[in-house]
Amino acid sequence: MIRSIIRGFGAALPKRVMTNQDIEAIVETSDEWIVQRTGIKQRYIAGEGETTSSLGEQAARAALENAGIRPEDIDLIIVATSTPDNTFPATAVNIQNRLGITSGFAFDVQAVCSGFVYAMATADLYIRGGMAKRVLVIGAETFSRILDWTDRTTCVLFGDGAGAVVLEAGEGEGKTSDRGILTSNLRSDGSHKDKLYVDGGPSTTGTVGHLRMEGREVFKHAVGMITDVIEAAFEATGTTADDLDWLVPHQANRRIIDGSAKKLGIPTEKVVITVDQHGNTSAASIPLALAAAASDGRIKKGDLVMLEAMGGGFTWGAVLLRW
């Protein structure tokens, strides 16, 4: 059977680092409060000329180089983002153009912080359905541009960046020992909209709007939702937490990550953490974390890796894959 195997990975971050101390000069907060409640120490903020597509292009080029293939070898680009360059065209098409390719097709996926998990599951279906052989899956965001920088309850949490992987069709035997994506579980429930949303949009206000969140409410649901989809992924494949080499969670908050890992019985040493360095980069956080752990040799060929995320909507999901 066909499997979608990760052949390359890449990451890109804006030039400017914003530390918690820098944020203390903008809103009434403290490094101590931010670190204690979230684990975040710094984040990267896009400057002039840095956009979702420019960061996405940089991450894509790094992933292509890592995979040892050329842009024209790609036949599908999927970009997970909630901060597109424009309302349309899709940021994926902008990135396709930036990469200098006119072949294949490209589109965006919008599932907020779960975007990369949704995009991986979507890419896997195109590959297994025979419609694409090599797919660039990119998570790219410039959340700094939809933050209310006077609202200390949200602006301290997010950052900008992009990460990408090249998924390629390969042969598998239909066993959990196969390399590639083994299963995906996606969920959504729109009744939670008011807990995490942007208060603008083309068809409502005609403006971009700002991110609004009831942090405590999000926190309350997060661990249960995350552990549900991860357990479903284990069940679908007959694997357990003991078989897992790495948990690569969406990097929203250290306390949510630790709470989920603890509930699942996954030791901290098996959890990839980047939230301290990047903050919450929404759809970019998982591919940024993957690139960090794969480039420093933690994630190795053959490792069993669980990706999971939860975000606005609510949306949530998990992808289990063998590297």
Question: Using CA of residue 313, residue 3, residue 281, residue 49, what is the dihedral sign?
Answer: negative
Strand locations in the chain (E): 2-12, 16-19, 42-45, 76-80, 105-109, 134-142, 160-171, 180-188, 196-198, 211-213, 246-249, 304-311, 315-322
Among 114, 52, 53, 109, smallest CA distance to 76 is for 109
| Amino acid of residue 276 | D
192 among known catalytic residues: no
Considering only 4, 20, 38, 277, the residue that binds ligand COA (CB under 6 A) is 38
Decide if residue 151 touches ligand COA (CB under 6 A). no
Decide if residue 37 touches ligand COA (CB under 6 A). yes
CB of 34 to ligand COA, least distance (A): 6
CB of 95 to ligand COA, least distance (A): 23
Considering only 89, 170, 209, 215, the residue that binds ligand COA (CB under 6 A) is 215
For the CA atoms of 85, 88, 93, 99, what is the dihedral angle to 10 degrees?
-30
CB of 129 to ligand COA, least distance (A): 30
Q: By CB under 6 A, what part of segment 235-274 binds ligand COA?
A: 252-253, 256
C-beta closer to ligand COA: residue 99 or 211: 211
C-beta closer to ligand COA: residue 185 or 315: 315
Please pick, among 192, 250, 253, 278, the residue that the annotation labels catalytic.
250
Among 185, 170, 98, 95, smallest CA distance to 139 is for 95
Candidates 74-82, 164-172, 215-223, 299-307 — which segment interacts with ligand COA by CB under 6 A?
215-223
Question: For residue 106, what are its two tokens?
Answer: 């490209």
CB of 52 to ligand COA, least distance (A): 17
Strand locations in 145-245 (E): 160-171, 180-188, 196-198, 211-213
CB of 273 to ligand COA, least distance (A): 14
Among 5, 59, 6, 11, smallest CA distance to 295 is for 11
Chain residues binding ligand COA by CB under 6 A are 29, 33, 37-38, 113, 152-153, 156, 213, 215-216, 218-219, 252-253, 256, 280, 310-311
